[in-house]
């Protein structure tokens, strides 16, 4: 069978809220301790939970903390997070 022109489907990204729920960390733990460890404002974690856009580096910092707590690797390639585009800083893109 010739597979040269077949497109390999990309794995589906999990929405951040689902990753957060699966972590079983709880809201207070993620917002207070997670934000502190990630060295970001608590409002960033709040924004991610409700689906508002955040800076990509802030989103990755939160995902890194979740990775440390869960033992799973979470990043912007595996988790759907609404992030601000880096070119203009105001345009929103889904990652």
Tell me the CATH number at 40: 1.10.260
Q: Which two tokens stand for residue 46?
A: 């709040």
Q: Which range is least confidently modeled, 59-63, 81-85, 87-91? A: 87-91
Q: Does some domain include residue 1?
A: no
Which tokens go with 53?
A: 């856009």
The total domain count for the chain is 1
Residues 6+ apart with CB under 8 A from 78: 11, 13, 14
Q: Between 6 and 79, whose confidence is greater? A: 79
Range of the domain at 73: 14-94
Question: Does 69 fall in a domain?
Answer: yes
Give pTM, 2 decimals: 0.78
Q: What is residue 91's predicted lDDT score, i.e. its pLDDT? A: 46
State how beta strands 82-84 and 92-94 pair: antiparallel
Q: What would the pLDDT profile of 34-66 be if each residue is shown by its tens digit?
A: 899 999 999 999 999 999 999 999 999 999 999
**Gyration radius (Cα) of the chain, Å:** 15
């Amino acid at each position: 069978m010739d597979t040269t022109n077949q497109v390999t489907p990309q794995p589906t990204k999990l929405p951040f809220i689902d990753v957060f729920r699966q972590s079983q960390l709880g809201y207070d733990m993620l917002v207070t301790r997670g934000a502190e460890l990630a060295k970001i404002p608590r409002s960033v974690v709040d924004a991610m939970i409700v689906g508002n856009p955040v800076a990509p580096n802030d989103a990755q910092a939160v995902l890194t903390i979740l990775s440390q707590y869960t033992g799973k690797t979470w990043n912007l390639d595996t988790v759907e997070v609404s992030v601000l585009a880096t070119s203009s800083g105001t345009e929103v893109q889904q990652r």
